[in-house]
Structures are given as C-alpha cells and as structure tokens.
Amino acid sequence: MLTRSRTRGLLRQAGTIAVTLLGLLVLTFAIGRLMPADPVRAIVGEEATQDTYMQVYQELGLDRPLPMQFLMYLRDVLTGDFGTSIRTGQPVLNDILTVMPATLELATLAILIGATLGITLGVIAAVKKDRWQDQVIRVFSLMGHSMPIFWTGMIALLIFYAALGWVGGGGRMEDYFIGLVPEVTNFILIDAALAGEWEVFWSALNHLILPASLLGYSSSAYITRMTRSFMLDQINQEYITTARVKGLSVRQTIWRHAFLNIRVQLVTIVALAYGALLEGAVLIETVFSWPGFGQYLTSNLMIGDMNAVMTCVLLVGVIFIALNLLSDVLYRVFDPRTR
Amino acid sequence: MQTETLKKGRSMTLPGLAPLGRILRFLMRQPTSAFGLAVIALLVIGAIFAPLLATHNPYAQDLTNTLAPPGNGHWFGTDELGRDIWSRLVHGTRITLTIIALVTVVVGPIGLAVGTIAGYYGGAVDTVMMRITDIFLSFPSLILSLAFVAALGPSLSNAIIAIALTSWPPIARLARAETLTFRAEDYVSAARLQGASDFRIIMKSIVPMCLPSVLIRLTLNMATVILTAAGLGFLGLGAQPPLPEWGAMIATGRRYMIDSWWLVTFPGIAILCVSLAFNLVGDGLRDALDPKQMNRR
Amino acid sequence: MDTILDIQNLTVHYRGSPAPAVRGVSFQLGRERLGIVGESGSGKSTVGRAILKLLPSADITADKMQFQDTDLLALPEKRMLEVRGKRISMILQDPKFSLNPIRKVGDQVAEAWRVHMKCSAAEAKAKALQMLSAVAIRDVERVYDLYPHQVSGGMGQRIMIAMMLLTEPELVIADEPTSALDVTVRMQVLSILDGLVRDRGIGLVVISHDLNLVRNFCDRVLIMYAGRVVETLKASELDRAQHPYTRGLLAAQPRIGGPRQPLPVLQRRPEWAEEART
C-alpha cells in the first residue's frame, strides 16, 4: 500500500541519501587532492623525462580546474572506475573485493559475539539495576570500551597463543593450509565447509576466534549500555505489570514481553555497532596479520596510494549509509505500529 | 515538590556553569566515577611534575643497558635503546593531555559555532549545515582521521587536526538541539527587540546556555580522543619517534614483545587506565544529568 | 460469611520514602463486591498490588494475609506465580498501556491460559476466542489478530477483562477499571464485568476514586485516606457516613437538581491520617 505521503517520504529519503553520497564523494575527492604523494611521479617513476611527466599530468586531468577534476572523478566513480592501485597495479575495486571477505568474516563473527554478550549483560544490568551485578557489568563493559584494541590484541596473542597455545596466531589459518581450499566466496569458513576440508575449517576458526572475541567485546560496551537503557524504559511500563499479574515469572516477563519491545531498537543499535566495528578491525588486522580491508587501507596510507585510500574511505562511508538505511527498513518490518 | 521545581527553574535560567559544582559532588559520591576523577587528577599531576617524577631523561639512550627488565634502577625496565620506560611514560602524560586539550579547544568552538548558527537561523542555513554535519558523521572517526593524516602527512600536530576535524559533528548536533529550545525564549526575543545584532544574540544569549551540555559532551568524547590518538600513534601516523607517545611506544615495542613484555605492557596499561577513567567519569556524568537519578540519591 | 480474603494490619513501605504508603489496613472479603475509594496517593492501588505481592521496591508486612487456604504472606515467589493470574488476577487501568503494544491482543489473552494450563496453542486460542465473545466482542477471529493500537479503549478494556477472567480466578482486583474510558462506554464495560463476576461467583475488589461508581456497583465500601482506612460502610448506607472525610467526599459530588451553590472544598486534616481506624 503506497499512500501519497508514503511515496513522498520515500522520495525525500532517497534525496537525502543522494545528497549524502555526493558529500562523501566531495570529501574523498578533497582528501585525494590533499595527499602529499605525487600521483604522476608514482606512475611514471623517478627517472621519467619532463615530457613524459607532463603527458601523464595532462592525461590525469591535473591541469584542469578543480571543479572539472571533480566532475571527472564523479564520472569515473559512476561508471565503476575507481582507478588503479599504484602498489599492486590492479584496479582498486578488484583489490578491495579480494580483501573484503576476510574483514567481513571477522566483523560478522565479532558482532555475533558482541551482540550476544552485550544484549545479555544489558538485560541483566537493567533487571538488577543499582545492585552489585549492575555495577560489575558497568565496569566490565566500560573496560571493553576503554581498551586500546591493538594493545589488547598483542597481549591476548602473548597469553593465548605464545604462552598457552590455545588458539592460532596471526593470519587466517596455518600457512600450510593456504591454497588448499578452492576460493569460492573467500569466506574461509564457508569455503572450507563447502569443500569438506574440516581441518582447514578448524584451523581458520582457531585463528578467527581471538580477534573476533576482542572486537566483539569492545563493541559490546555500546550494545550493553543501550540495551540496559531501553530495557529500563520497558520495565516500568504497565504491560509488564499485566504480564506479572497473569502469573509470568520475572524471567518470562523480560524475555517474552519486554525484550520483544526493544528488539526493534536493538536492531538499529547492532547495525550501527557493526559499522563502528570496522574501525576496530583496521587496528586489530594489523596486529593479527589479517589480510583484510584494514590492512589494505593502512599499508596504502603509508605509501600514499591515493586511489586506494580514496576508494577505501568512500567504501566505508557507503557501508555506513547502507547500515543506517538497513536499520531503518528493519525498524519498519519489526514494529507493527509502523506498518 | 514546589521548591524542587523552583530550584530547577532557577538553575535553568542561570546562564553558565552553576550546576557544575553540584555535578562534581554527585560524581565524588559514586565509587566508579570517583576513581575516574582520581586517575585524571593523577594524570594532570603527572604532567605538571613530569621532570620531578621521572627518574631518567626520557630521551637519554644507554646502549649498554637495552631491554633491561623491570627493577634494578629502572622501575618499568628499559626499551630497545636503553631508555627508561617509566620516565617516558611520565613524560607521555604531557603528550596525552596536550592532545586532549587541543582537540577540545578546537572542537568546542567549531561545534558551537556550527550548531548555534544552524539552530538560530534555521531554514536553508540549517539544512545545509546539518547535511554537512551528517556527511562527517557517516564515517567512523578513526578511518576519517586516518585519511586526513595520510593527506596532511604523519605528525603529532596533524593527528590532532585530524581528530578535531572528525569529532566536531556530534557537538554541533547537540548545540543545535539546545539552540532550538532556547531560540524562542523571551529573553532572546527581548534582546532582539532591543536591536541586538544576530552575532551579539548568539554570543551573549545562546552560547552561554549551550555551554554546560557542550562541556559535558566534550568530556564524554575524551576517552575516544585518547584511543584514536593512540591508534594513530600505533600505526605510525601520530606522534613520531623519539616522542614518548604511548601508542607509538607500543608500536616500537611490538618487535621485542615476545622476549621483553614490559615494552608494550606498561604503555598499554597507561592508555587503558586513562581512557577508562574518562569513560567512568563520562558514565557518571550521564547519570548525573538524568534528573530522576539526581533526586533519588 | 464465606471469607475469600482476610487482611489484617497490612503495612506497605516503599524503600527510600520516609513514611509507609499504607498503614494498618485490615478488611475481609467474601463473595461480594468491595469498593476501595480514596483520592490519588491515598494508597488504594498499593493495597491491590500488595495482595498480589507485586511491589518489588516495597516492604510488605501484615499480621495476616490469608487467601482462602493460602497464607500469601509466607508464600515463596515460586508458589506465588501459581496464585497470580490463576486464583487472583487484576484488571489494570488503561488498555493503552497495560497491553503489550507489539503482540497480538488474542495471543496476550491466550497466554494467560497457557501460563497455567498445559495445553496446545490451538486449545489456548480456542479458549481465548470463547472468552472474547463472552465479553461481547463480535467478530472475535478478526479481533484476535489485532494489535493494541488498532482497538478502541472500550474494546481494549474488554480484552483486558477477558484476559483476567479467562482462568476463572476466585478473586479479581479491578484497579480503576473504567477511569481511562470514555464516559459513554464506561457503563457497558462495567456491566460486562458485573455480569461475569456474578455468574461465576468471583470476589471482586474495585479500586476507584469515583464514589458514584462504587456506590452503584459495590456491596461494601472502604474509604481510604493517607494510607489508612478511615471508614467502612455498606454501599447503600453511604449517605449515613460518620467520618468527616467521607462526608466531605460526598458533599463534593455535584448532583442534578441539587442546590446551585459552589461545591464545598474537600477538607483534609492531618489528624485523620493519625487516628485509629473506626
């Protein structure tokens, strides 16, 4: 059922997204122009003649005014051309598509851990408000929010890998497994399961579990706090009394009634936490030698690979916008009042 | 009941920082936020008296005594160049505080200016400014700072600029929301009727009203600033060697981590403590601002 | 009299508040309709919730809280779950807030049955549909699948009644059952409640600030003031009330055909809150 006001709302939302996307492009373009690395020198090399240099300079359109350059950039992006990485010589988009699954695998497991932990603790904290459980959970989750994740990663590697040997070290799996599984989705767990290589699967999980737990723990702080506050809003509602009058226990009331009412809000929170988690992924990938998006971004930052950096930043922005949109849509699906 | 509302009404119309003393007292009463305040106080004291507290020159190398374990004249051991880690940590507090202070000093006014102007004028000005704010908000702050530092070149001052550039949007949002509630107040209309200029109204009537909540939001932001700065330092994009910045110390210590755990452990604990302290205080502030909580205790 | 509920010297003290909200309240209830009347803050709702022991932030003490053969006071929370909703239930004030906004109203009714009886979902649904038609809802199949925001206030309160009477409890507490409703549907909802209570011989406690409602609907009336019962009367003898507070309440009621003077202002004297119960 599309009413007129509904259509107008959708149009306005589409307009907002378009403007934001355009803004993202302006921003990434500005960052690209600000970068100190000389893109021409990077292509032609140090020994090129002045003529060659000028020729490439013009080919790249660097002699034109900035607005023109921006329009060219816009045209390229709209046609799916994000330029070539100086470091790898590959189209940036190909590079990113290759490394992205590693990060998504890490981030997805991390958000599963973080959401489970955060929601459970948040509910307990709300039910036990101001009691010792609430205080312990508060400090525990603030710890997760306060730790410099790159450092915790190193310490965790020292303890759980070097000293105890419980988990695998850096990388996605043991070196001798690399290349054993055909790359279908580039999600190692899925690929290994598809190929029936369970040894590879366990090795990959063994390498994944530590960074994912740390990322999950750090993202759980936000989820815990929001769950607690949403839950507190619900606990004082009259329908909770109704459920108790019917003879439901506290636990049943919380999970069958109150929790259903915060589900919608939680989806929004978890989606936003997933986006924020990409940030932690950049740091933790460096520590765990994880061949993902974060490592790709940081290594290109160091050498000033302009196209790669611009595209990475743009991509993160797009992911953020997409997650916001997704949480909006899910909100409508879950809440009968918005139908 | 009645005196309560009266009191509330009075503190609402008092422009400025009168409630801050009350909030501070509230924070001291809770063990968690009191601990946070204590750590922050130690941090400030450490920064002021760093030369007295440090046992060695933080830059003095001693190549005959590299990677010495804790004890034996070096409380926290020495690093790969024989420098005393304790002394470097103590001097590092100055860098941490500088980052926090500079980011706050830059972010506060920018956020206030954008927020109050957007909120005061409304209409197209508001739409454009808030769209720009939203665009900045649609990036995770660390990744945007990374990109900015990469564009500006890695250094401590550029890291501070980059962090500031990415952390003003939430302040602007808040200042705008506050401005919208004050814009229609009688004393603003009165000032306008007396012929005060827009600039004067914003500076004299609106900014002081927004200030308390903006200051609190800035405090909440400090833990994130510390972690972002440490992250940039760790990636080699923040403070450069030989500056004793904690994140950079961890980055260099990483190579010797397996045999010399103290190189990374102590700077990490320092970062954790300080950012936890700010988070605990921030959490207490959030409670303090909840009127229900304030009355109950 | 066949006593269902016997309360002696009930005191409820909310933690952190200086004075108890309810002090030394005693009453007995048979198979009758008892009204508890008082202004807001008099502790009348607290009495209702104390009977169900649903006051997590308060200390409940009493000499006696006997519900038929069950000593409510000594009953552990686990056994209390078997009493709530099955033997004692409570109708809450406003269906806008007392129904869970994101669950189908029918499921919420059926849940009251499923909590206590071992049965399939289909059986519970059948039971709920039957009860919904008993509260004069037409087209019950359609109503079952509605969400609370899709039903009117009067309909919502009838759903509430269905939910609370489904398990045929022996005692129902109705906490301001019609205050949130339009005047036009009040009588309709009340008469449905009245009919069901009479048919099934259920003991009913009506908590209300509305003296006229209680007068017409109840057998006996308890007048509460500042946490105490100041007077207990037969509803038919309300006009012969002795206590100045009750007389004040009565005098403050406008009446068609009454004298056209300003209504007297209700007196409140601190000593009424202190004096022993009459």
Q: What long-range pairs does B94-97 form, CB within 8 A, spacing at least 24?
A: B94/B47, B94/B50, B95/B156, B95/B239, B95/B243, B95/B244, B95/B245, B95/B246, B96/B43, B96/B47, B96/B226, B96/B229, B96/B245, B96/B246, B96/B274, B97/B43, B97/B44, B97/B47
* Domain contains C132: no
Prediction ipTM score: 0.87
Q: How many CB atoms lie within 10 A of CB C61?
A: 13
C268: CATH: 3.40.50.300
Chain A residues inside the 8 Å CB shell of C108: 242
Instruction: Kindly list the domain boundaries of chain A, sorted by start residue.
Output: 13-78, 92-303
Closest CA of chain A from C133, distance in Å: 20
Give chain B's mean pLDDT.
85
- Residue C94 CB partners (closer than 8 Å, separation 6+): A238, C153, C179, C180
B54 touches A at CB < 8 Å: no
* Lowest pLDDT segment from B20-34, B191-205, B228-242: B20-34
Burial status of residue C210 (CB atoms within 10 A of its CB: 0-12, 13-18, 19 or more)? middle
Minimal-distance CA residue of chain A relative to B224: A146
Evaluate whether B187 touches B236 at the Cβ level (below 8 Å).
no
Chain A residues inside the 8 Å CB shell of C105: none
Q: What is the DSSP letter of C263?
A: P
- Has residue B7 got a pLDDT over 70? no
Evaluate whether B145 touches B163 at the Cβ level (below 8 Å).
yes
pLDDT at site A120: 95
* Lowest pLDDT segment from A188-202, B85-99, C69-83, C244-258: C244-258
pLDDT at site B8: 41
**Token reading at C145:** 């699948």
Interface residue ranges in chain A relative to chain C, Cβ cutoff 8 Å: 237-239, 241-249, 252, 256-257, 260-261, 335-337
Most confident of A284-288, A333-337, C186-190: A284-288
Report CB contact under 8 Å: A245, C160.
Answer: no
Whole-angstrom Cα distance, residue B274 to residue B271? 5
Q: State which amino acid sits at residue B39.
A: V
Q: What is the DSSP letter of A131?
A: S
* Domain contains C231: yes
Closest CA of chain C from A236, distance in Å: 11
| pTM for this entry | 0.84
Chain C residues inside the 8 Å CB shell of A260: 100, 102-103
Nearest CB to A245; choose among C84, C102, C103: C84
- Has residue B295 got a pLDDT over 50? no
Pick the CATH number of A92-303 from 3.40.91.50, 3.40.50.300, 1.10.3720.10, 1.10.20.60: 1.10.3720.10
Report CB contact under 8 Å: A261, C90.
Answer: no
* Domain contains C24: yes
Residue B39 confidence class, pLDDT cut points 50, 70, 90 = very high
Report the length, in residues, of chain C: 278
Evaluate whether B208 touches B224 at the Cβ level (below 8 Å).
no
- Residue B292 CB partners (closer than 8 Å, separation 6+): none
Angle subtended at Cα A253 by Cα A251 and Cα A258, rounded to the nearest 5 degrees: 115
Whole-angstrom Cα distance, residue C179 to residue A236? 20
What is the per-residue pLDDT across A214-255, written as a single tens digit (0 to 9) for each? 999 999 999 999 999 999 989 989 999 999 999 999 999 999
For an interface test with A, which of B131, B135, B225, B261 has the most A Cβ atoms less than 10 Å from its Cβ?
B135
pLDDT at site A339: 56
Whole-angstrom Cα distance, residue B226 to residue B236? 15
* Domain contains C197: no
Q: How many CB atoms lie within 10 A of CB B186?
A: 7
Q: Residue C268: give the domain boundaries.
A: 1-86+207-254+262-278
pLDDT at site B290: 60
Report CB contact under 8 Å: A244, C54.
Answer: yes
What is the per-residue pLDDT across A87-106, written as a single tens digit (0 to 9) for each? 788 899 999 988 999 999 99
* Domain count of the fold of chain C: 1
C75 touches A at CB < 8 Å: no
Residue B11 confidence class, pLDDT cut points 50, 70, 90 = very low
Whole-angstrom Cα distance, residue C93 to residue A303? 68
- Has residue A169 got a pLDDT over 60? yes
Evaluate whether A23 touches B135 at the Cβ level (below 8 Å).
yes
Report CB contact under 8 Å: C116, A336.
Answer: no
Chain B residues inside the 8 Å CB shell of A276: 140
Q: What is the mean pLDDT of each run of 10 residues along chain C (278 residues)?
A: 86 88 90 88 89 89 91 90 92 91 92 90 92 89 92 91 91 89 85 87 89 86 89 85 82 72 75 60
Report CB contact under 8 Å: A147, B272.
Answer: yes
Chain B residues inside the 8 Å CB shell of A147: 272, 275
pLDDT at site C12: 93
Give chain A's mean pLDDT.
86
Whole-angstrom Cα distance, residue B180 to residue B228? 31
Chain C residues inside the 8 Å CB shell of A252: 115
Per-residue pLDDT averaged across B9-14, rounded? 41
What is the per-residue pLDDT across C43-75, written as a single tens digit (0 to 9) for each? 888 999 999 999 888 899 999 999 988 899 889
